[in-house]
Structure 1
Amino acid sequence: MKNTTIALLGATGKAGRYILKHLINRGYTVKALLRKPDGLDFRHPKLVIVPGDVRDAETVSDWTAGCTAVVSALGQTPGEPLVSALAARHVINAMQQHNIKRYIFLSGLTVDVQGDHKSEANQAKSNWMRQHYPDVVNDKQQAYQLLSQSTLEWTMIRLPWIEQTEQRRNLAINLHDCPGDVISTADLAAFIAQELSSATYVHKAPFVASI
């Protein structure tokens, strides 16, 4: 992956930390946008830390410059202003400015896509989230709508419960319903690395799970 640089958002999160290390182990250079750089204790010659906030459009433009793809593992921090749709707008604009095409971003089961056929159990989980966190769910749904209407080569990976582990399992992928209750961070990171060089799920929103 010589001379290939990935812009990573959410590198201090429970999934982002594993994604960061896996991409570097695969030979990528990673530019990580961090509001609090001290929150990441990992350092590597192929890691470039960019201090800043995704809510600032100029910062996002500077962060993505020189990259070949963007990966977002951004989560919503409790008690803070909604960030998903705003981040999507800024990332889309920056990627178009720098002629970057590939964008992979993580989301939850609750985001709906045309063609979904969620099981009764998964639909119940979605309904619970919509009932208890309507603003967060709507913000993530809006972020998806913005990306789906863009010209980017986007993939939205929809996740069940994230299990933080280096252990690889069997990865199940389904475009219509989530095939399992958990996704291991090792499996997720490997899938993202695979999709950076694949067009299999461009303009699609696969559910993934470890089984």
Structure 2
Amino acid sequence: MEGIQKIAVIGGGGRTGQYLVNQLLKKGYSLKLLLRHPENFTIQNPQIEIVHGDVLNPDAVQTLLDGCDAVLSTAGQRQGEPLVASQASVNILNAIGDRPVRYVVLAGLNVDTPTDRKGEETAKATEWMRTTFPTIHNDRQKSYAVLAESNAEWIMVRVPYIEFNGNRSEVKVSGVDSPGTKIDAADIAAFMIGQLADDTWLRKAPFISN
């Protein structure tokens, strides 16, 4: 996608999200961040506009996406709180409407797609998530279904265990199985940003790892 100038970010106050925000700023983008607790956000930059609200609130999401050319989300499930993944995608897709706004969303490797050929390790991790956190697993799966049934320009990035060393290294990508067991948050951020201008994985859910 050419001509992207302003990007909406959801989950920018989280550990992975802060890598995303910093890398986007270095590339010169203007950002709109949806934050539930803006008072706790420490990144200061005149290119950041903050929208105080929750991704589960359709009005807040509509305000966030107003004037934005793309939306990146690293929002995760909050312990003991309402389910996030599927409702967030519904709210975001409704706010996008018919506009050509690309939506890149982070997910775990436990999400299944029809073209997967998950190996033993990925299948084991998927089953662990399905049995240990069945409600969260099902909600993330529902999020994928919401995207797959839409006409939006979406990419769901599936990742294994996330490290927070900030060390960039080679990123392996696969459409059928996780190519590794871990990935650094800095590489997740870089890959997600790369999807703004790359149609290789459009309307697909690639696995990435180091």
TM-score of the superposed pair, with normalisation by structure 2: 0.96
Q: Which residue is 1:44 aligned to?
A: 45
Tell me by how many angstroms 1:101 deviates.
2.5
- 3-state SS, counterpart of residue 203 of structure 1: coil
Question: Following the alignment from structure 1 to structure 2, what is the Cα–Cα distance between the partners of residues 101 and 181?
Answer: 31
Unaligned runs of 5+ in 2: none
Instruction: Please name the residue that 2:165 is paired with.
Output: 165
Aligned residues: 209
SS of the aligned residue for 1:50 comes to: strand
TM-score (norm 1): 0.95
Equivalent position SS for 2:15? coil
Identical positions, percent: 38
> Using the alignment, how far apart are the partners of 1:147 and 1:49 within structure 2?
26
Task: Write out per-residue CA displacement over residues 68-116 of structure 1, whole angstroms, 9 at most, x where no aligned residue.
Answer: 001110100111011111111110000116x243110000011000111
Supply the distance in 2 between the matched residues of 1:55 and 1:188 (Cα, whole angstroms): 24
1:60-75 mapped onto 2 (5 Å cutoff): 60-75=61-76
Inter-partner Cα distance in structure 2 for 1:64 and 1:171: 29
Give the ranges of 4+ consecutive aligned residues of structure 1 lying more than 6 Å apart after TM superposition: none
Distance 1:81 1:25 in 2: 34
CA contact (8 A) 1:2 1:27 kept: no
Contact (CA 8 Å) 1:67, 1:100: kept in 2 or not? no
- C-alpha RMSD of the superposition: 1.4
Which residue is 2:9 aligned to?
Answer: 8
Match of 2:33 in 1: 32
Q: Could you tell me how far apart the structure 1 residues matched to 2:55 and 2:66 are?
A: 14
The equivalent residue for 1:205 is 205
1:145 is aligned to: 145
Q: Aligned AA for 2:109?
A: L
